[in-house]
């Protein structure tokens, strides 16, 4: 295809806020069902104390949810007023009260822009990628649908967060019968992962009485995660430990360092001006893209200089989340809209 551009005499710069894209499932900036309990001279006073006292708990839960464990000691220490400014609203359920005591569960809904500003001001990396659906295949030592190790992964806590665990079901579960840790390959599970819309596959091996769980990612070219200590743990506790390891592994891969900035020249291909407008709109929703210089343009292609934060792999991942594929061809990076994406 001929690559004829109209070179611009000046650069057109678009600055986009690095906002977190909407995620399927639960909003990670909503912290649900924080238990509060306080006593005071009157019930109304106890209610105020309890709800105020739940805010710092909710802030710690949110902070640890979207940051890497290595950054937990760096959590900004905020006074009551500062925490309150991070919260948009709250909702109360399961209230119980007496004349002097108030007990309830409170859901705190944080302001995403306010939290992001705070983390960036403190140079703390946080997760901006969309939630990851991970297909887990439990083996002990082979995959058996309905055994204790497989059932341990049905914990509701493992679904709906930044990492959402899904399990084989129906014909897919039947097809995996007898699969072992060593025999599992990406080619064997790729069609199942595609049907379940899983972004990754992890095989988790555990046998009662073993001292460790082995975890293996099956995506092509990906490393095997370290083993997880399972000394003396039941299947349920072992699954919980393995899940936390998977979450931390994914956060380490996905958390963006906003102090790490770079530029990249890319060519964008489009079929019409409306297609070009749609591509620009998608770029505006990419959290790691913080600026665009248009270098050249014609009716089917544009050359752009992207300013981005984080790593190149994270840029590609967040572009993919927004429905834009970034691929290397003939030594050049190309952007194209992905069919079927929002």
**pLDDT per residue rounded down to tens, the chain (342 residues):** 344 333 333 233 333 333 333 334 467 899 999 999 999 999 999 999 999 999 999 999 999 999 999 999 999 999 999 999 999 999 999 999 999 999 999 999 999 999 999 999 999 999 876 678 899 999 999 999 999 999 999 999 898 778 899 999 899 999 999 899 999 988 889 899 989 888 889 999 998 777 789 999 887 556 666 678 888 889 999 999 999 999 998 888 888 888 888 999 999 988 888 888 888 888 888 888 988 998 998 888 899 999 999 888 888 888 887 888 899 988 899 998 876 444
Q: How far apart are CA 180 and CA 75, in angstroms?
A: 41
DSSP bridge pairs for 38: 102
SS3 178: coil
Sign (positive/negative) of CA torsion 312, 314, 317, 321? negative
Name the burial class of residue 296, with classes exposed (0-12), middle (13-18) and buried (19+) by CB atoms within 10 angstroms of its CB.
middle
Please give the Cα distance from 338 to 321 (Å, whole number). Answer: 10
Bridge partners for 263 per DSSP: 307
Give one DSSP letter per residue of 74-123, joined into a string. Answer: G-----HHHHHHHEEEEEEEEEEE-SSEEEEEEEEEE-HHHHHHHHHHTT
How much is the pTM? 0.72
pLDDT of residue 221: 57
Single out the residue of 29, 25, 67, 15 nearest to residue 286, CA to CA: 15
- Separation of CA 190 from chain center: 21
CB 127 within 8 A of CB 254: yes
224-228, long-range: CB < 8 A, 24+ apart? 225/249
- Please state the separation of Cα 20 from the chain's center in Å: 10
Distance between CA atoms of 339 and 190, rounded to whole angstroms? 20
């Amino acid at each position: 295809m001929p690559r004829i551009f109209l070179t611009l005499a000046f650069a057109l710069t678009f600055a986009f806020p690095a906002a977190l894209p909407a995620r399927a499932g639960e909003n990670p900036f909503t912290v649900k069902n924080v238990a509060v309990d306080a006593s005071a001279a009157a019930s109304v006073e106890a209610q105020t104390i309890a709800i105020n006292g739940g805010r710092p708990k909710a802030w710690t839960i949110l902070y640890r949810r979207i940051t890497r464990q290595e950054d937990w000691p760096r959590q900004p220490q905020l006074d009551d007023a500062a925490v309150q400014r991070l919260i948009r609203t709250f909702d109360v359920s399961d209230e119980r009260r007496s004349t002097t005591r108030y007990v309830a569960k409170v859901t705190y809904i944080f302001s995403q822009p306010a939290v992001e500003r705070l983390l960036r001001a403190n140079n703390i990396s946080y997760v901006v990628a969309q939630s990851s659906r991970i297909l887990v295949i439990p083996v002990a030592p082979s995959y058996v649908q309905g055994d204790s190790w497989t059932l341990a992964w049905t914990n509701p806590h493992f679904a709906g967060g930044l990492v959402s665990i899904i399990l084989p079901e129906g014909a897919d579960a039947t097809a995996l019968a007898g699969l072992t840790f060593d025999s599992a390959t990406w080619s064997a599970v790729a069609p199942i992962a595609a049907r379940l819309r899983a972004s990754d596959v992890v095989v988790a091996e555990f046998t009662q009485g073993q001292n460790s769980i082995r975890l293996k990612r099956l995506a092509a070219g990906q490393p095997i995660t370290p083993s997880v200590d399972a000394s003396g743990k039941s299947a349920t506790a072992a699954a919980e430990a393995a899940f936390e390891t998977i979450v931390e592994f994914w956060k380490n891969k996905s958390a963006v360092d906003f102090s790490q900035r770079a530029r990249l020249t890319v060519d964008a291909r489009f079929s019409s001006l409306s297609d070009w407008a749609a591509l620009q709109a998608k770029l505006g929703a990419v959290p790691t893209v913080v600026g665009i210089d248009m270098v050249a343009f014609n009716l089917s292609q544009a050359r752009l200089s992207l300013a981005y934060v984080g790593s190149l792999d994270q840029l590609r991942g967040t572009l993919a989340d927004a429905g834009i594929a970034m691929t290397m061809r003939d030594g050049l990076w190309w952007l194209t809209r992905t069919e079927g994406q929002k």
